[in-house]
Each structure stands twice: as C-alpha cells, then as structure tokens.
Amino acid sequence: MTNPYELARVAADELRDHSGVDEYDVAVVLGSGWKEGVVALGEPSSVVSTSSLSGFVAPTVAGHHGEILSIELDGTRIALVAGRVHLYEGNSAHHVVHPVRTVIAAGAKKIVLTNAAGGLDPSVAPGTVVVIRDHLNLTATSPMEGPSPPEGYGSRFVDLSDLYSARLRSIARDVEPALSEGVYVGLRGPNYETPAEIEMVRRLGATLVGMSTVLEAIAARHLEADVLGLSLVTNFAAGVADGPLNHLDVLETGLSASDRLGALLARVLSAL
Ligand code: 8IG
C-alpha cells in the first residue's frame, strides 16, 4: 500500500487538475447541517466529485455527498469538503482523515472542522453553534497509528497542547461574540449514548458529543495546519433533557439552522 501521505499528494494533484485551483488557503470540512448553508459563500468555481480522487471512500450517510467545492471569498481560496466519512461506516482512521490530508497537501494551512453534535449543557439549546476549545478522543484509535510517517513529515508523537488554535478561536469569537466554547468528545458511534455514558463523559469534562472531528483535528495538527472546530448543537445528549433522541430531529435542526450557519461561516472565513 502507498503510504497515506503519498496518497494524499496524489489526490491533491488530481484535485488541482480537476478544479483548476493551484493552491488553497483554507479548507472547511462540512458536517451535517453545514453543507446546506454554504450557498451563502457564493457560487463555487468548481465542484469535484471525490470519486474521481485517489484514496477517497464514498460516504454511506444520507445527505453526505463526496464533493470538494472551490470558492474564492475576498481573495481567500477555500476548499469545501462535503461528504465526510466516519469510523462507524467501517472506515479506518486513515480513510477518515484522507480528505483533510489531501486539502493540506493542496496548500490549505487552516482547517475548519464543522459538525453536528449532541449537547451536554442544558443551558445550550439545540440550534446553537459552539466553538471547540479542546477534545477528548475516545475513539480508541488515532490517525498516527501504524508505520512512522515518512521522512519529511512530523513525528507520530504529535503535540496536541494547542490543538484547537487559540488564535483562530479568538478570531471566531471576535466575529461573533455570542459564541461560547466547549469540549467535544469524539466517540465511535453510530448508536447514540446511554444516559450513564453521557454522565461519564460529562464528568470527564465534555460539553459536546459526536462521532467525527477528533481524528481529523489530530491529522491536521500533525501536518502543521491551524485547526478551528465549530459544532452545531442539534440535540440534547441522552439523559440531559426528557424524551428520546431521533436522527430525523437531528437532521431537521441542522436544516433549519443552515442559513445562519452559512452566514456565520462566511463571516468567520473572511476574518481568518
Ligand atoms: I448530531 O447525541 C449528534 N451527533 N455520539 N451523540 C453522539 N453523536 C451525536 C449526537 C449525540 N448528536
């Protein structure tokens, strides 16, 4: 097997050929709910299907299409990655982070990771966006597992002390002072948690829970990109409020927030 870094270089060259964009400045990974809002960013100059790029696996989640959109916003060249893939679809950590490694190989030095998440704080209502301050990786895996990265890439022992860039977080909060910060716990899913599990991760310090983001953040930091994480709270986590969790409610909260998400993303991206 080609090493994952070489594979990302190959995919980045293909992306360049297909998109006509030489280099990106920023990449955004779009979580559920966020994709529908990106019309606010303007007309993409190209849309590349990830099925035409080496190493990409097709998403199996409804509403996640594998595409990379190229958009220019105030002179900033942005790659929008739609169609994230997850561990729970049966993918390895390397597959999960391949899109992020690819856009970084295509030049992006800032990575915005967006997601939909369950909220553990009863005072943060569904529909609220929260900036990720830090994470707990409880997926029991890491994109750094396996052979040591080849010559020229950083150590596998990645320093995560400043994983979610304080500088980018402060820019986001300057743009939108109402944004609060939280700690995101990444679990494998795909089942939602029991109330006891939510109580466990709450005691460990989590305020947001989801099934993505943490592996991508680690891979991006390893490649020396600056990471910003934005969570849309779409539901109260199990046991936080009365009533069951329902995937359709989660999707609906995402959809009804999409105009606000797009507008927020446009303002944050212009300021990065
Ligand atoms: I949206 O409550 C969304 N994603 N693990 N738990 C987990 N992932 C989620 C949740 C949730 N809500």
DSSP string, 64-76: ---EEEEEEETTE
pLDDT of residue 249: 76
Mutate to test the pocket of ligand 1, among 202, 250, 255 (most ligand atoms within 8 A of CB): 250
pLDDT of residue 26: 97
- Count of C-beta atoms within a 10 Å radius of residue 205: 12
CA 194 to centroid of chain Cα atoms: 24
Give Dmax over CA atoms of the chain in angstroms: 53
- pTM value is 0.95
Mutate to test the pocket of ligand 1, among 121, 129, 235, 236 (most ligand atoms within 8 A of CB): 235
pLDDT of residue 132: 98
pLDDT of residue 191: 95
- Rounded to the nearest angstrom, the distance between the alpha carbon of 197 and the centre of ligand 1 is 12
- Rounded to the nearest angstrom, the distance between the alpha carbon of 10 and the centre of ligand 1 is 33
Which ranges of the chain would DSSP assign to H, the alpha helix?
4-19, 93-105, 166-175, 195-203, 214-222, 247-271
- Rounded to the nearest angstrom, the distance between the alpha carbon of 159 and the centre of ligand 1 is 27
List the pLDDT tens digit at each of the 272 positions of the chain.
579 999 999 999 999 999 999 999 999 999 988 988 887 888 999 999 999 999 999 888 665 579 999 999 989 999 999 989 999 999 999 999 999 999 999 999 999 999 999 999 999 999 999 999 999 999 999 999 999 999 999 999 999 999 999 999 999 999 999 999 999 999 999 999 999 999 999 999 999 999 999 999 999 999 999 999 999 999 999 999 887 777 777 778 877 888 889 999 999 999 99
> What domain count does the chain have?
1
Mutate to test the pocket of ligand 1, among 113, 135, 137, 193 (most ligand atoms within 8 A of CB): 193
Residues framing ligand 1 (Cβ under 6 A): 116-118, 187, 189, 192-193, 209-211, 234-235, 237, 245, 250
pLDDT of residue 1: 56
CATH number of the domain residue 155 falls in: 3.40.50.1580
Nearest-CA residue for ligand 1 atom 3 is 117
Owning domain of residue 158: 4-271
